[in-house]
C-alpha cells in the first residue's frame, strides 16, 4: 500500500545546462527587469509623497498609506493563516494508507507529482489568497477610519434606539468583518476538503467509509464556523432593516422598516439566529459524535426555516394583513421615514407657505415699481455669454473661458451687484505651435479676471464689463492676475527654471516671467526627475536642458482635483467658482460629507439627482462623489484653491456635523475652524448648487409632513425639463438676488420651480437664502401654488412665448439669414401673489460668432411682452411706466438717452453712422464702411465735447454719457476688428 507522505524516486536524468555566459546574461536581464519594476512602483509612491508634501497635506498621505498597509498585512496574514493552517491540518490528518482502488491509484500520480514541492505549493496558495484578501481589505480604509474615530450623532433610531453612529460608522465595519469571515471559512473549507480528498481522507468512489473520522471532525468544525457566522449575519440583519432599501409601491424608493419588516422579518431574523446557533453547535458536536447525521438535519432545518420563516411568512403578512389596509398599517413607519429623511438632508426646517399665484393689486404703477424692486433680473446668462466673453476678451488665442461662467456678488459704492465672472485661463489648443517646450514650459498660465454686470447690457447687447482687457483692469482693484491653477488647466507645467514663460502680450509685445510661487515639486534632484519621467511617461524630463536650478513641476491643477486629493473623504460639488479675495484669485469649492447609513432616511443617487441640462453639456460640472448612493449629506466644508500658488485650505463650515468631526479626528489639523474665514472671503461664499439639487429632488415628495398625504401620492411634484432647449434634462437652479414675500430687501438666492407629476403647470417655487454670513443663510422657502388654480409652469410659459403670433414673427425675423436665436435663463420671480417670468433672448449671426442680447421676454398674469429692453417689456406687461430711474443701459439695443440735447443729437448721429457701417460691412462695401467709421468718430467726438461742456456747467453730471461714449468707442473698435 503506497505511503501518502513520500515522493517519487528513480534514476536522475542529466539535462544539458546552458553556458555560463548565457546564465549570466539571463540573470542580469532578470535582475534588471526586477529593478525596473521596482523603480516604476517606487516612482508612483515617491511622486505622490512629493506632491502631498508640496501642498502641506503630507499627513493625509501618511495616514491613508499606513492605514492601507496595516489593513493589507493584518487581513492578508489572517486569510493566509486561516487557509494555510487548514491545509496543514488536513495534510497532517491524512490516513497513512489508502485502499487500493482506481480512484486512489489515479490520485497517487498527483500526490507523487506535488510531493517535492509541497512547501512551495502551500506558500504559493497562502500567498495568493493573502494578497487578494489584503488588497480587498486595504480598500476599506475609509470604513476602518470611520469606525475607529466615529463620534456620536446624539440622535437615536426609532426602532432599536441606538445612536445613528452605530449605523453610520459601526455597522459597515461589522459587515466587512463578517464578509471577511465568510470568505475565510469558505476558502478554508474548500482548501481542506481538496487536501483531504487528495490524501485519501475523503473518498467518492472508493469502497468503505466516505470520510475518515479526522476529516469528518475537521470539516464539521469549519462548517460549524460558517453556520455560526450565518447566525451573526442574521443578528446584524435585524439592525440592517433600519437602513435597508426596498421598492415601496406607494412611495417608490424606501429606506427603513415597514410594517412587514417590523412584524415579520424582524422576528424571523431572531428565530433564524437561534436556529443557526443550534445548528452550529451540532456541527461542533461532531468532534465527539463523529457523525454528520444531526448537523445535516439541523442545516436542512435552517434552510427550510429560512424559506418558510424568512420568505413565505413575510409574504403572507404582506398579502393578508398589510394590503387590505395599507395606509393604516404603514402610516406609523412612514412618519418615521418622513422625519428621518428631512433631518438627514437638512430639509426639516423648510418653510412651506401657500401662495395665491395671481396678483390682487389694481394699482398698475405700484405693481410696475414693485417689479423693479422684486429682484435684480439677470439678463446676462452665464451659460450663454461665454462665447461673447471669448470673442471680446480672449485677446490671445492661447486664452480661453469655461463654457459656463459663474455668478457672484461684488460691492461698489456700498451696493451689491450680481456679477457674471470668468477667468482668462490657458488654452493650449490656441498656442501658435505645439511642442513639448511650448506646451509645458512657455505657455504655463492664464491671465486676469473678466467680469460683467449681470443685470445690464450695452447698446449693442454686449456685456457691460466691470473688469476687462489684458492685463485686466476695472472695479476689482489690484490683485495677482496670473492663473496657474484653473478648471481648464489639466496638464503639467515646469516653471521657475532657466526657460522663461510667456506672461501676457500687449501693444509692446510679449512679456515673459518666471514663476515665483512655492507650489509644485522641485526637480533639482536627479531622483525626482527620474521618478517624474517614469510616472508621466516623459523621458525628456530626465535629460532636458530646459530644466535646471529652481525648476518646479506643477500638476493636479484643477481646483476640484486638488481638493479631492487632499481630502479624499469629501464629495466635491460640481461647480468650483473664482473670486477676487484680498488681492488674490481664489477658487471656491464646496464639499460635502455623506453617509449611506442614516436609519429610515431614503436614499438618493448623487450622479442622477445632481444632473441637469448644464451637467449634460459639460462634464466638468458633474459632482465628484466618493459614495454615489447616500442618505445623509451636509455641506460641511468650504475649500479654497489659490489660482497662483495652488494653496488648498479647508474650512469647517458645519460645526455640528458628526461625520466631519469623525474625519477631523482621523485627519487632525487638516481642516481649519470656521472662525478662520475672513470677512472678504465670507462675502463670496454661497449656498452650493449640488446640495440644493439634492434637496429639491427630495422635497418633490418630502415637502409633506402627513403620512396619509405622502402615501396617497397626490402631492408628488417633479423637476421640470429645461424649457430653453430640447435636451429633456432637468432645469438647473439659478442664482438671483431677489425679495420673497414678507422680506424687506433682496437677498442672494438660489431658485427653482416644481411642477405636478406628469403635468406642466406650476406646483411650487423653491428658493434658499444663498448669502453666507447672514442669519437666514440656508433657509429653504417653498411657495406652494393652489391645486385648484392652473398656474403656468416654465414649459407652458416658453410655449406661450413661442406661440404668440407677434413674438413668433419677431423671432422669425431675428432668425433671418444665417442668424441663430438663443434663449437665456428663464427666471421666475414671485411678485404680489403672482409670478413674473423673464427670459433674455440672444442672437448670434452674420459675421458675429457670439450671442448678443437683442430682446427680453416678460410675462405676468397672462400678459406677455417681447421688447428691446427689460424696462420696456415691464412697462408693456403692466401697462404702466416705472416711477423709478431705470438702470443705465439695462438690456437695451438703443443708445441711452442724455439730458443734454446736443449730446443726444451727436449720439443719434453716432448710432446712424454705426448702423450704416454695419450694413456696409455685410455687403463688403469697404469704401462706404470707411466713410461710416469716419462719421462715427466725428459724432462721438462731438458728443464728448458737448458732454464736457455740460459737465462744467452741471458739475460733472455727464458721467453716464461719457460711459456711453466709451461703450460706443468699444463698439467701433470691435466692429473694426470684426471686419
How confident is the model over 613-657, as pLDDT tens digits? 887 777 777 888 877 889 999 999 999 999 999 999 999 999 999
Grid cell at residue 260: 412587514
Pick from 459, 322, 486, 463: nearest CA to 399: 486
H/E segment holding residue 652: strand 648-652
Mean pLDDT of 900-915: 66
Given this model, what pLDDT does residue 33 score? 82
Give bridge partners of residue 457 from the DSSP assignment.
463
Q: Dump the DSSP string for 411-470.
A: EETTEEEEEEEEE-EE-GGGSSS--HHIIIIIS--EE-EEEEEEEEE-TTS-EEEEEETT
Contacts of 485 (CB under 8 A, 6+ apart): 554, 557, 558, 559, 562, 587, 641, 642, 643, 644, 646
pLDDT digits (tens, 9 = 90+) for 298-329: 888 888 888 888 888 888 998 888 888 888 88
Mean pLDDT of 892-907: 49
Contact 186, 78 (CB under 8 A): no
Highest average pLDDT, of 336-340, 708-712, 935-939, comes from 336-340
Contact 696, 772 (CB under 8 A): no
Given this model, what pLDDT does residue 17 score? 62
Pick from 548, 385, 353: nearest CA to 456: 385
For the beta carbon of residue 113, count every other beta carbon within 10 angstroms.
11
Contact 895, 909 (CB under 8 A): no
HSE of 631, CA atoms in CB hemisphere, 13 A:
24
Q: Residue 950 above 60 pLDDT?
A: no
pLDDT digits (tens, 9 = 90+) for 844-862: 876 667 889 989 999 988 8
Mean residue pLDDT of the chain comes to 85
Pick from 649, 687, 688: nearest CA to 671: 649
pLDDT digits (tens, 9 = 90+) for 662-678: 999 999 999 999 999 99
Helix (H, G, I), strand (E, B) or coil at 922: helix
**Which residue carries 449605523 as its cell?**
167
What's 647's DSSP letter? -
Residue 102 — pLDDT band, cuts 50, 70, 90? low
Contact 655, 674 (CB under 8 A): yes
Q: Cα–Cα distance between 617 and 722 in angstroms, integer?
A: 13
For the beta carbon of residue 426, count every other beta carbon within 10 angstroms.
25
Mean pLDDT of 421-428: 92
**Between residues 388 and 23, the one the model is more confident about:** 388
Q: Cα–Cα distance between 755 and 787 in angstroms, integer?
A: 11
Pick from 891, 915, 358, 246: nearest CA to 600: 246
Could you tell me the end-to-end alpha-carbon distance of the chain, in angstroms, rounded to an integer?
Answer: 103
Grid cell at residue 429: 489648443
**Between residues 159 and 806, the one the model is more confident about:** 159
Q: Cα–Cα distance between 931 and 937 in angstroms, integer?
A: 10
Given this model, what pLDDT does residue 895 score? 35
Q: Residue 901 above 50 pLDDT?
A: no
Pick from 816, 167, 750: nearest CA to 408: 750
Q: Residue 970 above 80 pLDDT?
A: no
Least confident of 114-123, 543-552, 797-806, 956-965: 956-965
Q: Residue 273 above 90 pLDDT?
A: yes
Pick from 688, 686, 676: nearest CA to 592: 688
What's 207's DSSP letter? S
Grid cell at residue 572: 466635491
Percent of the chain residues topping a pLDDT of 70: 86
Helix (H, G, I), strand (E, B) or coil at 48: helix
Q: Dump the DSSP string for 76-100.
A: HHHHHHHHHHHHHHHHHT--SS---
Q: Residue 34 above 90 pLDDT?
A: no
Given this model, what pLDDT does residue 228 score? 95
φ, ψ for residue 349, nearest 5 deg:
-95, 15
Grid cell at residue 871: 424696462
Q: Cα–Cα distance between 318 and 321 in angstroms, integer?
A: 6
Q: Cα–Cα distance between 199 and 911 in angstroms, integer?
A: 101
Mean pLDDT of 864-885: 83
Mean pLDDT of 348-353: 91
- Cα Rg, the chain, nearest whole Å: 36
Q: Residue 99 above 80 pLDDT?
A: no
pLDDT digits (tens, 9 = 90+) for 750-797: 999 999 888 888 999 999 999 998 889 999 999 999 887 888 888 888
**Which residue carries 457566522 as its cell?**
229
Q: Cα–Cα distance between 315 and 308 in angstroms, integer?
A: 10
H/E segment holding residue 214: helix 213-240
Q: Cα–Cα distance between 328 and 80 in angstroms, integer?
A: 54
* Burial zone of 285 (CB within 10 Å; 0-12 exposed, 13-18 middle, 19+ buried): middle
Given this model, what pLDDT does residue 215 score? 86
Given this model, what pLDDT does residue 8 score? 44
Grid cell at residue 344: 438627514
Q: Residue 956 above 60 pLDDT?
A: no
Grid cell at residue 740: 420673497
pLDDT digits (tens, 9 = 90+) for 797-841: 888 888 888 888 888 888 777 788 888 889 999 998 899 999 999
| pTM, to two decimals | 0.84
| Chain centre to alpha carbon of residue 823 | 27
Given this model, what pLDDT does residue 15 score? 46
Q: Residue 907 above 70 pLDDT?
A: no
Mean pLDDT of 456-462: 87
Amino acid at each position: 500500500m503506497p505511503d501518502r507522505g513520500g515522493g517519487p524516486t528513480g534514476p536522475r536524468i542529466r539535462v544539458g545546462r546552458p553556458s555560463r555566459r548565457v546564465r549570466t546574461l539571463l540573470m542580469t536581464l532578470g535582475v534588471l527587469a526586477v529593478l525596473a519594476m521596482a523603480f516604476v512602483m517606487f516612482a508612483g509612491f515617491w511622486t505622490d509623497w512629493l506632491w502631498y508634501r508640496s501642498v502641506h497635506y503630507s499627513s493625509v498621505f501618511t495616514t491613508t498609506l499606513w492605514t492601507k498597509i496595516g489593513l493589507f498585512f493584518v487581513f492578508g496574514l489572517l486569510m493566509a493563516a486561516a487557509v494555510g493552517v487548514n491545509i496543514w491540518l488536513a495534510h497532517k490528518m491524512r490516513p497513512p494508507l489508502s485502499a487500493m482502488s482506481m480512484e486512489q491509484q489515479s490520485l497517487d500520480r498527483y500526490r507523487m507529482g506535488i510531493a517535492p514541492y509541497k512547501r512551495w505549493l502551500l506558500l504559493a496558495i497562502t500567498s495568493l489568497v493573502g494578497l487578494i484578501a489584503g488588497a480587498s481589505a486595504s480598500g476599506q480604509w475609509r470604513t476602518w477610519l470611520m469606525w475607529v474615530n466615529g463620534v456620536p450623532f446624539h440622535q437615536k433610531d426609532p426602532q432599536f434606539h441606538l445612536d445613528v453612529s452605530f449605523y453610520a460608522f459601526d455597522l459597515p465595519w461589522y459587515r466587512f468583518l463578517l464578509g471577511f469571515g465568510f470568505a475565510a471559512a469558505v476558502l478554508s473549507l474548500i482548501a481542506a476538503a481538496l487536501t483531504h480528498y487528495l490524501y485519501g481522507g475523503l473518498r467518492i468512489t472508493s469502497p468503505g467509509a466516505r470520510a475518515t473520522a479526522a476529516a469528518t471532525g475537521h470539516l464539521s468544525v469549519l462548517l460549524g464556523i460558517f453556520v455560526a457566522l450565518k447566525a451573526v449575519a442574521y443578528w446584524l440583519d435585524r439592525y440592517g432593516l433600519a437602513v435597508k432599501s426596498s421598492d415601496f409601491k406607494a412611495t417608490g424608493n424606501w429606506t427603513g422598516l415597514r410594517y412587514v419588516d417590523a412584524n415579520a422579518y424582524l422576528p424571523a431574523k431572531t428565530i433564524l439566529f437561534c436556529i443557526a446557533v443550534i445548528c452550529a453547535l451540532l456541527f461542533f458536536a461532531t468532534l465527539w459524535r463523529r457523525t454528520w447525521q444531526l448537523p445535516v438535519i439541523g442545516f436542512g432545518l435552517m434552510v427550510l426555516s429560512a424559506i418558510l420563516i424568512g420568505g413565505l411568512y413575510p409574504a403572507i403578512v404582506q398579502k393578508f394583513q398589510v394590503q387590505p389596509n395599507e395606509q393604516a398599517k404603514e402610516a406609523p413607519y412612514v412618519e418615521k421615514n418622513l422625519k428621518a429623511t428631512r433631518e438627514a438632508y437638512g430639509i426639516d426646517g423648510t418653510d412651506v407657505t401657500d401662495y395665491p399665484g395671481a396678483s390682487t393689486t389694481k394699482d398698475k404703477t405700484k405693481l410696475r415699481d414693485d417689479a423693479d424692486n422684486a429682484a435684480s433680473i439677470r439678463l446676462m446668462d452665464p451659460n450663454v455669454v461665454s462665447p461673447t466673453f471669448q470673442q471680446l476678451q480672449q485677446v490671445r488665442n492661447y486664452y480661453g473661458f469655461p463654457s459656463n461662467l459663474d455668478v457672484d456678488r461684488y460691492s461698489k459704492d456700498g451696493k451689491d451687484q450680481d456679477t457674471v465672472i470668468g477667468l482668462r485661463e490657458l488654452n493650449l489648443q490656441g498656442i501658435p505651435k505645439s511642442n513639448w517646450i511650448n506646451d509645458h514650459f512657455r505657455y504655463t498660465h492664464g491671465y486676469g479676471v473678466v467680469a460683467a454686470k449681470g443685470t445690464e447690457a450695452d447698446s449693442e447687447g454686449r456685456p457691460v464689463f466691470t473688469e476687462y482687457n489684458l492685463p485686466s483692469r476695472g472695479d476689482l482693484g489690484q490683485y495677482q492676475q496670473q492663473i496657474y491653477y484653473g478648471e481648464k488647466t489639466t496638464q503639467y507645467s515646469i516653471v521657475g527654471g532657466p526657460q522663461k514663460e510667456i506672461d501676457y502680450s500687449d501693444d509692446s509685445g510679449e512679456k515673459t516671467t518666471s514663476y515665483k510661487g512655492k507650489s509644485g515639486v522641485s526637480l533639482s534632484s536627479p531622483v525626482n526627475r527620474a521618478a517624474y519621467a517614469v510616472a508621466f511617461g516623459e523621458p525628456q524630463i530626465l535629460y532636458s536642458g530646459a530644466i535646471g536650478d529652481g525648476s518646479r513641476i506643477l500638476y493636479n491643477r484643477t481646483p476640484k482635483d486638488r481638493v479631492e486629493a487632499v481630502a479624499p473623504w469629501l464629495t466635491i460639488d460640481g461647480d468650483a467658482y473664482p473670486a477676487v479675495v484680498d488681492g488674490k484669485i481664489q477658487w471656491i469649492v464646496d464639499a460635502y460629507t455623506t453617509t449611506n447609513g442614516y436609519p429610515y432616511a431614503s436614499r438618493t443617487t448623487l450622479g442622477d439627482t445632481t444632473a441637469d441640462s448644464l451637467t449634460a453639456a459639460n462634464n466638468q460640472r458633474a459632482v465628484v462623489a466618493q459614495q454615489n448612493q447616500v442618505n445623509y449629506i451636509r455641506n460641511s466644508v468650504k475649500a479654497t484653491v489659490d489660482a497662483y500658488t495652488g494653496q488648498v485650505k479647508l474650512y469647517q463650515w458645519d460645526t455640528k456635523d458628526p461625520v466631519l468631526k469623525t474625519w477631523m479626528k482621523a485627519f487632525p489639523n487638516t481642516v481649519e475652524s470656521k472662525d478662520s474665514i475672513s470677512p472678504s472671503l465670507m462675502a463670496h461664499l454661497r449656498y452650493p448648487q449640488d446640495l440644493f439639487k439634492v434637496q429639491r429632488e427630495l422635497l418633490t415628495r418630502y415637502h409633506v409632513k402627513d403620512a396619509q398625504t405622502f402615501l396617497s401620492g397626490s402631492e408628488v411634484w417633479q423637476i421640470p425639463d429645461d424649457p430653453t432647449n430640447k435636451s429633456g434634462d432637468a432645469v438647473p437652479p439659478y442664482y438671483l438676488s431677489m425679495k420673497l414675500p414678507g422680506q424687506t430687501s433682496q437677498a442672494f438666492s438660489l431658485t427653482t420651480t416644481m411642477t405636478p407629476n406628469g403635468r406642466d403647470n406650476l406646483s411650487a417655487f423653491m428658493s434658499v437664502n444663498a448669502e453666507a454670513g447672514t442669519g437666514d443663510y440656508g433657509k429653504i422657502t417653498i411657495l406652494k401654488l393652489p391645486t385648484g388654480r392652473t398656474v403656468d409652469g416654465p414649459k407652458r410659459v416658453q410655449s406661450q412665448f413661442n406661440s404668440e403670433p407677434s413674438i413668433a414673427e419677431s423671432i422669425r425675423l431675428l432668425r433671418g439669414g444665417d442668424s441663430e436665436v438663443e434663449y437665456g435663463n428663464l427666471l421666475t420671480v414671485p411678485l404680489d401673489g403672482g409670478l413674473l417670468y423673464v427670459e433674455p433672448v440672444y442672437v448670434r449671426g452674420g459675421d458675429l460668432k457670439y450671442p448678443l442680447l437683442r430682446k427680453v421676454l416678460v410675462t405676468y398674469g397672462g400678459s406677455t411682452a417681447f421688447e428691446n429692453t427689460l424696462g420696456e417689456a415691464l412697462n408693456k406687461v403692466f401697462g404702466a411706466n416705472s416711477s423709478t430711474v431705470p438702470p443705465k443701459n439695462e438690456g437695451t439695443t438703443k443708445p441711452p438717452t442724455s439730458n443734454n440735447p446736443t449730446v443726444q443729437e451727436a449720439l443719434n448721429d453716432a448710432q446712424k453712422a454705426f448702423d450704416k457701417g454695419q450694413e456696409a460691412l455685410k455687403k463688403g462695401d469697404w469704401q462706404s464702411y470707411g466713410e461710416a467709421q469716419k462719421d462715427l468718430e466725428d459724432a462721438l467726438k462731438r458728443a464728448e465735447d458737448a458732454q464736457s461742456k455740460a459737465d462744467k456747467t452741471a458739475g460733472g453730471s455727464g458721467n453716464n454719457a461719457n460711459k456711453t461714449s466709451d461703450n460706443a468707442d468699444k463698439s467701433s473698435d470691435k466692429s473694426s476688428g470684426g471686419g
